[in-house]
Chains A and B, each alone.
Chain A
Amino acid sequence: MHALAVDRQTALARVIAVTNDKGGVGKTSIVANLGGQLAAAGYRVLLVDLNRQANLADDLGTRGTSVDDQGEGLLTGIVLEGRHPLPVAFGVRPNLDLVCGGTRLEALTPLMVSKTMGSPGSSGQSSPFLALADVLAPVAEHYDVILIDCPPENFILTDLALGAARWVIMPTKTDIGGLVGMTLVAERFAKAQQINPSLGLLGAVLFATGTKATAIHAAARSAISAAFGGQSPLFTTVVRHAERTAQDARRLGKLAHELEAEAAQQPAWWVTLRNHGEPQAPRLSATAASVAADYRELAYEVLNVLRSMEQAEQAGAALGAAGERA
Chain B
Amino acid sequence: MSVDLSAQFGRSGAAQARELGALLPPRPPRAAASEQLDDSTPAAGEVSTEAEAIPQASADDNTGSPVDDQSARRSAPSRRLQPAPAEVDQTQSFQIPVYVLPAAKAAAQQRRARDRVTNAEVAFSAIDATFPKLQQLLQSRRTVQRKAGSLFPARRQRTRGSSAEPQSRRVAWVLQATAEELGVLDSLVVELGAESRSELIAAALEADLLTKSRR
Contact = CB atoms under 8 A, between A and B. Distances in A.
Interface string B110-124: 000000001100000
Contacts of B4: 227-229
B46 to A, nearest CB: 20
Interface stretch (A31-39, A77-85, A101-109, A260-268): A260-268
Contacts of B51: none
A134 interface: no
A183 B8 CA distance: 9
B166 A268 contact: yes
Interface string B1-26: 10111111111111111001001110
Given A236-B94, A297-B176, A187 B13 contact: no
B16 A312 contact: yes
Nearest to A289: B171
B6 to A, nearest CB: 4
Contacts of A226: 1
A237 interface: yes
A228 B162 contact: no
Nearest to A221: B92
Nearest to B172: A290
Contact of A167 (B13, B102, B169, B176): B13
A286 B99 CA distance: 12
Interface in A172-226: 176, 179-180, 182-183, 186-187, 189-190, 200-204, 211, 223, 226
A233 interface: yes
B174 interface: yes
Interface in A263-311: 264-270, 286, 289-290, 293-294, 296-297, 300-301, 304-309, 311
A235 B14 contact: yes
Nearest to A260: B171
A88 interface: no
A122 interface: no
A187 B9 CA distance: 9
Contacts of B94: 236
B93 to A, nearest CB: 5
A305 B1 contact: no
A227 B1 contact: yes
Contact of B173 (A211, A236, A293): A293
Given A238-B95, A304-B24, A309 B13 contact: yes
A268 B92 CA distance: 39
A62 interface: no
B13 A293 contact: no
Interface string B150-189: 0000000000001111100101111010000000000000
B165 to A, nearest CB: 6
B64 interface: no
B13 A305 contact: yes
Contacts of A286: 162, 169, 171
18 contacts: A183-B1, A186-B5, A201-B12, A202-B12, A226-B1, A227-B1, A229-B4, A229-B7, A237-B95, A237-B176, A264-B166, A268-B165, A286-B171, A293-B172, A294-B174, A308-B17, A312-B16, A312-B20
Interface of A: 167-168, 176, 179-180, 182-183, 186-187, 189-190, 200-204, 211, 223, 226-229, 231-238, 260, 264-270, 286, 289-290, 293-294, 296-297, 300-301, 304-309, 311-312
Interface of B: 1, 3-17, 20, 23-25, 92-95, 97, 102, 118-119, 162-166, 169, 171-174, 176
